[in-house]
């Protein structure tokens, strides 16, 4: 009798559309069973760990219409399939929106950035190891959050928005897009809908299963950056356990308009402190009209952590977040 191994790749149908129409038709037909595949960096981890079981994959990398960086009358449009390396190296983004190119340059390693896409980085699922290991937590359809328990290991988890799930958004580019007031272009067979980057990501109080507003049949196809924040003064910093390959413990993205040494306007967002990029509107309001200086930074930095609830092992994130915000404000 021959033993059969259960540790084998399941049968998965692979579709490789070459144009927008076919891709959107497949997404509509396959619905939740159609796993969207771009660079595949997050996908391969899920399949390797045997914790996701799609019956079909729609590989999007052949659709040239969803790649590249184009200047528009209102700013620039970036195809969601554009690689992170292309975003890092693009002269237009470097000159006008360096906040995004800097954030993209801090994602993982050069090898991963060469194949990883902007859309993939934005849409990757939660990194909580309890969830990734296939345990029946709230996000996986169960009735417990293992990370938010007396014995939970939660050093990398959320300070805010802890409604049943305390996982954080793992994206480095998401806070940059929120700070730049980007617009997400979501396409389906029914047409397009435009969504502010700040509203594109959703927390567990809104949707415990999904981390974005994307629904079956929809694909993020482009990201638009407005001229409004082009050439502002930008700041991005990411703190992680390792400089490469690692996800942020906390990151900060800031776009600040300065005139005569004073702050006219600002948008500041932090990542890895909530399930969504956390926009710091209270800090933004507090610094308007003030000098961009050490004194201003010291006066308002503590506002960044208002409402934070530390878990067993992530207390350090509160002063870390405050210090990153302080550095972003003083420049």
- Domain assignment of residue 2, yes or no: no
**Domain of 43, in residue numbers:** 13-330
- Domain assignment of residue 64, yes or no: yes
- Domain assignment of residue 299, yes or no: yes
- Domain assignment of residue 320, yes or no: yes
Query: Could you tell me the CATH number of the domain that includes residue 94?
Result: 3.30.465.10
Task: Tell me the three state secondary structure of residue 286.
Answer: helix
CA quadruple 275, 280, 282, 283: dihedral sign: positive
- Domain assignment of residue 294, yes or no: yes
- Domain assignment of residue 1, yes or no: no
Q: 31 burial class (0-12, 13-18, 19+ CB within 10 angstroms)?
A: exposed
- Domain assignment of residue 137, yes or no: yes
Count structural domains, the chain: 1
Tens digit of pLDDT at every position of the chain (331 positions): 444 445 666 789 999 999 999 999 999 999 999 999 999 888 887 877 767 888 999 999 999 999 999 999 999 999 999 999 999 999 999 999 999 999 999 999 999 999 999 999 999 999 999 999 989 999 999 999 999 999 999 999 999 999 999 999 999 999 999 999 999 999 999 999 999 999 999 999 999 999 999 999 999 999 999 999 999 999 999 999 998 889 999 999 999 999 999 999 999 999 999 999 999 999 999 999 999 999 999 999 999 999 999 999 999 999 999 999 999 999 8
- Domain assignment of residue 227, yes or no: yes
Instruction: List strand residue ranges (DSSP E) for the chain, in order.
Output: 13-15, 34-37, 56-59, 69-72, 75-79, 183-188, 191-196, 219-226, 233-239, 250-259, 262-271, 278-279
Contact 239, 324 (CB under 8 A): yes
For 277, the token pair is 């990029």
d(Cα 310, Cα 123) in Å, to the nearest integer? 26
């Amino acid at each position: 009798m021959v033993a059969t191994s259960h540790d084998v790749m399941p049968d998965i149908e692979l579709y490789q559309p070459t144009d927008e129409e076919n891709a959107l038709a497949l997404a509509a037909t396959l619905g939740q069973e159609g796993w969207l595949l771009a660079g595949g960096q997050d996908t391969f981890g899920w399949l390797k760990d045997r914790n996701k079981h799609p019956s079909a994959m729609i590989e999007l990398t052949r659709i040239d219409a969803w790649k590249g960086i184009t200047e528009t009358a209102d700013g620039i449009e970036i195809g969601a399939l554009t690689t992170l390396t292309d975003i890092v190296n693009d002269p237009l983004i470097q000159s006008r929106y360096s906040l995004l190119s800097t954030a993209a340059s801090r994602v993982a390693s050069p090898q991963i950035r060469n194949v990883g896409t902007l859309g993939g980085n934005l849409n990757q699922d939660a990194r909580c190891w309890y969830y990734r290991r296939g345990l029946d937590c709230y996000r996986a359809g169960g009735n417990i959050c293992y990370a938010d328990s007396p014995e939970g290991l939660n050093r990398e988890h959320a300070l805010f928005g802890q409604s049943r799930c305390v996982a954080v958004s793992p994206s480095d580019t998401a806070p940059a897009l929120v700070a730049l007031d980007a617009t997400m272009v979501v396409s389906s067979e029914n047409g397009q809908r435009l969504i502010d980057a700040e509203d594109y990501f959703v927390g567990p109080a809104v949707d415990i299963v999904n981390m974005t507003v994307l629904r079956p049949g929809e694909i993020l196809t482009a990201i638009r950056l407005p001229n409004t924040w082009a050439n502002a003064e930008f700041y991005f910093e990411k703190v992680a356990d390792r400089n490469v390959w690692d996800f942020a413990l906390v990151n900060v993205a800031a776009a600040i308009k300065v005139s005569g040494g004073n702050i006219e306007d600002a948008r500041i967002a932090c990542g890895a402190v909530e399930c969504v990029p956390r926009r710091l509107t209270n800090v933004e309001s507090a610094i308007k009209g003030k000098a961009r200086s050490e004194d201003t930074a010291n006066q308002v930095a503590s506002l960044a952590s208002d409402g934070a609830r530390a878990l067993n092992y992530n207390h350090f994130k509160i002063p870390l977040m405050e210090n990153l915000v302080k550095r972003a404000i003083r420049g």
